[in-house]
Structure 1
Amino acid sequence: MGAEVFAALLRERRLSVGWSQDELAERSGVSARSISALEAGGRRPRMSSVVRLAEALGIDPDTRGRWLTAARDTDPPPSAEATPAGSPPPPQEGPTCPQQLPMAIRHFTGRTRELQLLDELLVDVTPGCGAVVISAIAGTAGVGKTTLAVHFAHRVADRFPDGQLFANLRGFDPARAPVDPADVARGFLDALGVPALRVPADPDGRLALLRSRLAGTRTLIVLDNVREAEQVRPLLPGSNSCLVVVTSRNRLPGLVALDGAVPLALDVLSPAEARELLARRLGAAAVAEQQDAADELVELCARLPLALNIAAARAADHPGTPLEVWARELRDSRARLDLLSAGDSHADVRVVLSWSYRALAPRAARLFRLLGLHPGPSIGTSAAASLAGLSVSEARALLEDLHRAHLITAPERDRYTFHDLLRAYAAERAACDESPQEQAAATLRMLDHYLHTAHHAAHLAYADDVSWQSLDLPEPAAGVTPEELADRQQALAWYREEQPVLERIVDSAHRTGADVHAWQLVGAQVPYLLKSGLWQQWQRASETALAAAERTGDLGHQAHAHRWLGQVHRSQGRLAEAQRELRLALGLFEALGDRPREGRTRLDLAIAHGEEHADAEAVAESRRALELFEALGDPSGQALALNSIGWYLAQQGLLREALPHCRRALDLARDAGNLPGQSSIWDSIGFIHHRLGEYHEALPAYHESLRLRVAVGDYFLQADIHTHLGDTHLALGDAEAARAAWTRSLAILEDLQHRDADAVRARLAGCPAPEPPR
């Protein structure tokens, strides 16, 4: 735009509002003589004069931007005409290109994905893109929001020739109130060179003037440590050539929804990024030489940048001390927060976390600290409701408050977690801010929630399975809201999702002396662990159950725990240990007069004998079990015992003798509605037909067995049936079908890391490969 065009626009606008040059001079603070010169086109406009004239004339933002664009690169020094000879020079308006960014962090590490997302915003920082471009970087305390924003701002500063503005809005400062937007505007106007006398006294005027000064400029603005969207919104420029970067511990959903901010949630560092940070601080060679200790240090610091930097600084101060020493100190969760402090409130993990905690409303703060009583690794909405004694809807609303504050994360809907340092801080707050009575009540509600939900899930999934024993439970504590599960599939899905949580809950119950709950929690999940082939989890849970039962002196509970241990040892091929545990269980059940469990333990012993290829002993033990079940009138028990007899007779080659036992077992299992039992019996029948060479009779028996196994969710035993199907397909000459069945079996066994996988691999290796198509 030339001076003549600007002159015409200025003159046209002044006349349209009916002002003389003197009136405009009075309203704008630009001398009438200068306005006369500008209207005559005698010189190009000065930036400051353009702004004041545009404000006085009420020029719309788009036109104002065009005027400023014309003035920005052609702002000459004052002319002789505007400054009479002998007069002192006019006061300067200060820097027109502020550079307020704080120093960038020397050891900045990683964040490649986040920087790429921020770089993509620059595509929109061009005329015609629409509204101002805003990025809202949100994350928990100490995660590196400011570091990322400043690092990015330095990287792109040259893209914003009109300056970079920075302000800490103190949204979570415990000592001072959040900064008012009008006060931020005053600081920015000073930095932009606006004379103090021209800054309006009223807040709205100040904010309007800031927007005017930013219009048409290419300015980068970093608003750090924002509490809420209302702190940011008045400071947003109207120019589509500016970029605003906002950081907050809150998610600022209003800024995203109403102002078009692009959200960027910042999580803890990845393991690789965390190791790189340590290497930058301590030296790559030192970290590489102590890789295990460095990895442990990374995890103990929860990969939180603030914690890692503090730990690295302590290690750097003592270069001769091995990293293992620092890791060993941090293993004590009670002392961890004490150790992660550098003697500065901004470099103290506990203090920094406390700023977010203190900003919470009282009910949200209570839920946060009660979450510290939960062992993790995650918690569902219903469990959180029980923990706090709230309704599910109340708990969901408060969890969302904590999520917005980045004190918890939500990896999926209705599921929440937080890193170990936040967990340690929450537990610390619970110990300080909750009475021992309330902590105990919350813990009881938590245990009752998982116990009653697990018991209900087991009833839905395994009511017709002899591996399940219903527990005689008292009513749950007041305020407990167990999960609402409708059917077997929902029950199995709940088990799958909660299994890592149940493992920790059992350990926590035993560790805190809630031994009855510990044993019952194991009892309520044993069928799932058994059917799913989760051997290691099953063994740990059973060992904890035995320790809890021994501490309470309950012989019945001890007998069950010994039996569970015998079953898991047998499943893992540790047959001597299996025999020992099962004999201990059998002796206790006999002493207690628990004949149903005595019979089922004898069947477990029969299987253990069979694993040792002592098939005659297996048949004898199965017959003893059958006698017990006949005396008790237990059809399900009789069906299992008859099937066991038939199976081990078949193993001895007595196939014609074996088949009637299995047929009778199937009738009893059907009458009793025992689906898992029916599946096992169909597998036995298929095996006997296969051994008799009756392959076409074997296949439908195996398919029915598999159908029932899938229906009841018995994952592990599906592998056995696939193996048997493969054997029969091969006997029929269908190598392709055999390979397909064995491949399905191997996938299950490898997933479970089961020892039977080697035998299936051998089958596949020996099976003829399919001929290529011609």
Structure 2
Amino acid sequence: MGEQIKFSALGPLTVTVDGASIPLGGARQRTILGLLLVVPGRVVQLDTLVDAVWNSNPPPTARTQVAICVGALRKIFKNAGVEGDVLLTEHPGYVLRTEGHWFDQAEFSELIRTAEAQAQQGSLEDAARSYAEALGLWRGPAFAGVSTQLIDDEAARLEELRLNACDDAAGVELELGRHQELIPTLAAMVRDHPLRERTRYHLMLAQYRSGRRADAMETYRDARTQFIEELGIEPGPDLQELHDAILRDDPSLATPAQPAAERRGTAPAVTVPSELPADVPAFTGRADELAALESLVTASEDAEDTAAAAAGTIGLITGAAGIGKSGLAMRWGYRAAQHFPDGQLFADLRGYDEHHEPATAQDILSRFLRSLGVSGEQIPADVEQRVAMYRSLLTDRRVLIVLDNARSHAQLRPLLPGGGRCCVLVTSREQLEELVTWPPQARVHLGRLSVDEAVSLLTAIVGERRIATARADAVRLAELCDRLPLALRIAGARLASKPHWTVRYLVKRLSDEHRRLDELSQGESQVRAGFALSYRYLPEQAARLLRLLGLLDAPDFTAWAAAALLDGDPMDGAIVVEELVDAQFLEVAGEDPTGQLRYRMHSLVRLYARERALEEEPEPERDGAALRYLRTVLTIAEAADRREDAGTGTGIHSDEARTAVDAGLLEELLAVPLVWYEAERLSLVAAVRQAVRTGQAAIAWDLTVCASIFFGIRNYTEDWRQCCEEALAAAEAAGDLRGQGAMHYGLGALELGRSQLDSATGHFERALRLYTDAGEDHGRAMTLRSLAQGDRLRGDVDLALGRFAEALPIFRQVGDRYCEAHTLSNIAETELDAGRPEAALPSALHAVQLEESRGEDTRNLAQALYRLGRVHGGLGRLQAAEEAFLRAVRIVKEKADMIGLAYTLLGLGETRLAQDDVELAEATLTDALEIAEEARSPMVAGRISMVLGDISWRKGQTEKAQSRMAAARERFQAVGASAWEQRAAKALSGFAAVHR
């Protein structure tokens, strides 16, 4: 079976292989593993897993997602060196294989059975050791961090077994005469579980035997009060009999063992340490984080807070190198010191020290014990004995313990108090999942400072005068430092030490990406060195992914991008990405609308990653990884383009090779293609730019083609223009005629959408020449169709119909049904503009039929329905027209096509006006105008304004009618739509004539 796996559920769910903890992935994978751990070796039904993971409200893909999670867990075990299957598929679900592996629940049960047998045989010392070993397996509440009803029930069962074991162990310890040592533990248990009579019995007996007869009586009185108030009953006969026996000093209560004092030796003197390092100067911001840490004080002071009494209050500050973890710990430590009258202990665990080995528990405990008053000769040599002494000394004290720069939970475990009213604050670059903080809100993750906080920090270091007079430069400087406290302090210190430098001068120096890390890595505080220490401890694959991510221009990404860089599958990519998140090199930007987690890398980390890539990755590896990523983006974008158009691509594509993408991943990403486009918009633009920068002209213009439909629907004109222009320049440099034609066509479509007819025509004419020279008939036909649309808008009906007629047979020849339907619906609209609705009807109906035959509600179908509605309206078939428009409205709303929605509402409003429903028509058209203006589409806004002007005239609102019609004329004039401009001018003249 390879390496033995240790499954630990008595506390946070952890798994170790060969002593090393392995990541278990997200909440769903942890939940599934937890459910299998409830009954290891037995089958857990798939339906049970589904119900538990989704709380009895599973999505349709739940079974598939469970299978994916199980597959991910199998891969995690395999990558950790485990041979053979750990998770087996057995009908009707899955089973966790037990042979050869270690389970702390099973170990706990076996130790308890052993202890019980030893106690029955009179081997009390052996029984005490077995109980202690069993209880020592517990690291917190069972299955902490994983919660479903089945797991909660199992956790409650295990907790009851633990409490029974505690009581049994206490009975053995009392038999051995260790009553004084037991009192703190028993008192904490009573606070946690005030209605457990057996625990109170042991506490009363231990107090009596320790000479604390009054305390024993108080424990009984407290029990009686709680039992009567909460249960309405008196304490049980055992407690009552013990109470009576204490009152009469019954000899049977005497300890059966030798006095504990003979075994303990001399108690150490009590001292009050004060070890916190100096507070951080010019500390800025972090108000929310300081407030969260305040809960530690409240929890440690609250004697009724049973969780804190049992385990102590523990806070954790995590974050990247240089983010200010130690500074926050010191600032809070000094603020909270007054609440810890028994002192403050501090240790730097050196988890990320380049020049020293990590601090050992043995050394730190030795120093802590001396700080607490133990003389050198009294400090045990054995580390376990030191831990026991340390925890005993802290039992009744209120001490603040700050453990800085921890690398692992193993480093911390010996330094945590056993309970009582102490408080521990830990800082780490790791998430330390095994560490259970209490209260939960005391787990604080530090992000970058806000802009105002960053500028305030610079002001505190440099001075108000220099920063206040250069606020914009200071903001830019803060961004160049990633708003990272360490980098800001370095930059501020450089300015403070060089009064002749302006803020703008330092900004100029840092703006050079090749020098920025050098500028921020001078003196003792070095940004690069902080990154290097974390980088050194990364697993091999995580380090490689970090380097390759440094090559990307994308502002954020999902796991599939990481998989493409690594040339692996998405689950492998997700696992490695999470390792970088845990190491603070990446941060989670949130979940995008497709359900994918998005990750981002700050600019300074990106610069460091790029440095590592250039130094450690051979050039062929760098180029190959970047090309895999770009081809993967192209593959997904093309699939999204085809799905959005119901399987028919709308553009001319390159011959660039595609990267195979898992079909299941495509289904997950592209359930709604426009949603994926929206989530990836900035990354798509960055990918086009990166393709241009790296000489991949074909990918650049092909990606732009794939994204054009999205840019058009969502009106991202600036993104569209930038991609077209940059990809056009790359295609020109490469001598790629088809690419040049595609990009001129794209720029023409963009201008046509903005109703800039002259500019659109210029681009289309260049595209037509390029496609003709390249022998690209399909592209020629698409361009002819678009030129015809411009002709129609100018009022040149015959030229438009001629170009449509020339394009139509080419579309049929190449099998482009999308463009065929689109051309037919445009022919119908042109005929309608010419006043020939009967001639328009066959083309309009044919266009709708072609789109309906594709089986999906496409944007093209909405356009065909819009034109069919106009034709029906022209023929006086108003009910059929309204039905067509309403259907089109539903489709464009689903697509979030704002321009399409403006047009379809225009048609609907005109139809309602023709039905003499003036008020409803005006309301519909008012909505349409607002949408058109928001979408910045002057052509449709002008047409809507014309109809609204007519409505105002009908209602006798002369000035309003003139204002609306004048606005329409101005819009038509701005876009060069002369035919429509003339219509508006004619209407205005008519208004004026009547008004006179």
Q: TM-score range by the shorter chain?
A: 0.7 to 0.9
Q: Deviations over 1:407-437 (max 9, x none)?
A: 1112335432221111111111111111112
> Which of 623, 629, 643 is the aligned partner of 1:446?
629
Q: Does 2:310 align with 1:129? A: no
Q: What SS does the corresponding residue of 2:435 show, helix, strand or coil? A: helix
Q: Does 2:274 align with 1:99? A: yes
- AA matched with 1:528: F
> Which of 725, 733, 745 is the aligned partner of 1:551?
733
Hey, what does 1:313 align to over in structure 2? 493
- AA matched with 1:516: A
Q: What SS does the corresponding residue of 1:137 show, helix, strand or coil? A: strand
- d(CA) in 2 for partners of 1:358 and 1:467? 49
Q: What SS does the corresponding residue of 2:434 show, helix, strand or coil? A: helix
- d(CA) in 2 for partners of 1:623 and 1:764? 31
Contact 1:461 1:492 in 2 (8 A): yes
> Which of 568, 574, 577 is the aligned partner of 1:396?
574
- AA matched with 1:423: R
**In 2 relative to 1, CA 137–485 (structure 1 residues): closer, same or farther, beyond 3 Å?**
same
Hey, what does 1:150 align to over in structure 2? 330
Hey, what does 1:47 align to over in structure 2? none
Hey, what does 1:304 align to over in structure 2? 484
Alignment of 1:20-35 (within 5 A): none
Hey, what does 1:119 align to over in structure 2? 294
Hey, what does 2:988 align to over in structure 1? none
Hey, what does 1:31 align to over in structure 2? none
Hey, what does 1:501 align to over in structure 2? 683
Hey, what does 1:516 align to over in structure 2? 698
- Sequence identity of aligned pairs in percent? 34
Deviation at 1:399, TM superposition (A): 1.7
> Which of 455, 461, 465 is the aligned partner of 1:281?
461
- d(CA) in 2 for partners of 1:122 and 1:727? 69
Hey, what does 2:722 align to over in structure 1? 540
Contact 2:296 2:438 in 1 (8 A): no
Contact 2:652 2:742 in 1 (8 A): no
RMSD: 3.4
Q: Does 2:359 align with 1:170? A: no
Contact 1:453 1:482 in 2 (8 A): no
**In 2 relative to 1, CA 324–694 (structure 1 residues): closer, same or farther, beyond 3 Å?**
farther
**In 2 relative to 1, CA 425–129 (structure 1 residues): closer, same or farther, beyond 3 Å?**
same
**In 2 relative to 1, CA 101–752 (structure 1 residues): closer, same or farther, beyond 3 Å?**
farther
Hey, what does 1:718 align to over in structure 2? 901
> Which of 550, 556, 561 is the aligned partner of 1:383?
561
Contact 2:585 2:605 in 1 (8 A): yes
Hey, what does 1:34 align to over in structure 2? none
- AA matched with 1:110: G
**In 2 relative to 1, CA 110–634 (structure 1 residues): closer, same or farther, beyond 3 Å?**
closer
> Which of 266, 285, 306 is the aligned partner of 1:110?
285
Deviation at 1:175, TM superposition (A): 1.4
Q: What SS does the corresponding residue of 1:116 show, helix, strand or coil? A: helix
- d(CA) in 2 for partners of 1:694 and 1:452? 45
Q: What SS does the corresponding residue of 2:278 show, helix, strand or coil? A: coil
**In 2 relative to 1, CA 253–635 (structure 1 residues): closer, same or farther, beyond 3 Å?**
closer
Deviation at 1:561, TM superposition (A): 0.9
Deviation at 1:267, TM superposition (A): 0.8
- AA matched with 2:717: W
- d(CA) in 1 for partners of 2:947 and 2:282? 53
- d(CA) in 2 for partners of 1:173 and 1:632? 66
Q: Does 2:906 align with 1:728? A: no
Q: What SS does the corresponding residue of 1:254 show, helix, strand or coil? A: coil
**In 2 relative to 1, CA 744–376 (structure 1 residues): closer, same or farther, beyond 3 Å?**
farther
- AA matched with 2:334: H
Deviation at 1:534, TM superposition (A): 1.8
Q: Deviations over 1:382-421 (max 9, x none)?
A: 2211101223333222222211111111233543222111
Q: Deviations over 1:574-621 (max 9, x none)?
A: 333222111100112223333332222122122233444555554454
- d(CA) in 2 for partners of 1:223 and 1:502? 44
- AA matched with 1:486: E
Hey, what does 2:757 align to over in structure 1? 575
- d(CA) in 1 for partners of 2:410 and 2:527? 28
> Which of 114, 119, 139 is the aligned partner of 2:319?
139
Q: Does 2:362 align with 1:188? A: no
Deviation at 1:353, TM superposition (A): 0.9
Q: Identify the structure with bigger relative contact order (alpha carbons < 8 Å, sequence gap 6+).
A: 1
Q: What SS does the corresponding residue of 1:379 show, helix, strand or coil? A: coil
**In 2 relative to 1, CA 735–251 (structure 1 residues): closer, same or farther, beyond 3 Å?**
farther
> Which of 179, 184, 187 is the aligned partner of 1:61?
184
**In 2 relative to 1, CA 327–693 (structure 1 residues): closer, same or farther, beyond 3 Å?**
farther
Alignment of 1:426-465 (within 5 A): 426-464=609-647
Alignment of 1:463-474 (within 5 A): 463-464=646-647, 467-469=650-652, 471-474=654-657
Q: Deviations over 1:27-65 (max 9, x none)?
A: xxxxxxxxxxxxxxxxxxxxxxxxxxx999534325799
Contact 2:645 2:818 in 1 (8 A): no
Contact 1:462 1:527 in 2 (8 A): no
Q: What SS does the corresponding residue of 1:245 show, helix, strand or coil? A: strand
Q: TM-score under structure 1 normalisation?
A: 0.81
**In 2 relative to 1, CA 635–764 (structure 1 residues): closer, same or farther, beyond 3 Å?**
closer
> Which of 666, 681, 690 is the aligned partner of 1:485?
666
Hey, what does 1:18 align to over in structure 2? none
Hey, what does 2:600 align to over in structure 1? 417
Deviation at 1:748, TM superposition (A): 5.2
**In 2 relative to 1, CA 617–288 (structure 1 residues): closer, same or farther, beyond 3 Å?**
farther
Q: What SS does the corresponding residue of 1:58 show, helix, strand or coil? A: helix
Aligned length: 690
Structure 1: gaps of 5 or more residues: 1-53, 71-90, 769-774
- d(CA) in 2 for partners of 1:349 and 1:739? 62
Q: Deviations over 1:97-133 (max 9, x none)?
A: 2211111122111111111111123221122323201
**In 2 relative to 1, CA 354–348 (structure 1 residues): closer, same or farther, beyond 3 Å?**
same
Deviation at 1:681, TM superposition (A): 2.4
- d(CA) in 2 for partners of 1:580 and 1:599? 16
Hey, what does 1:239 align to over in structure 2? 419
Deviation at 1:751, TM superposition (A): 6.0
Deviation at 1:443, TM superposition (A): 1.4
Q: What SS does the corresponding residue of 1:378 show, helix, strand or coil? A: coil
Q: What SS does the corresponding residue of 2:401 show, helix, strand or coil? A: strand
- AA matched with 2:420: N
- AA matched with 2:862: S
Q: Does 2:768 align with 1:586? A: yes
Deviation at 1:696, TM superposition (A): 2.9
Alignment of 1:643-654 (within 5 A): 643-654=825-836
Hey, what does 1:198 align to over in structure 2? 378
**In 2 relative to 1, CA 744–419 (structure 1 residues): closer, same or farther, beyond 3 Å?**
farther
- d(CA) in 1 for partners of 2:448 and 2:730? 37
Q: Deviations over 1:240-267 (max 9, x none)?
A: 3111110000000011389979421111
Q: Deviations over 1:698-735 (max 9, x none)?
A: 21111222344456675542332133324434554556
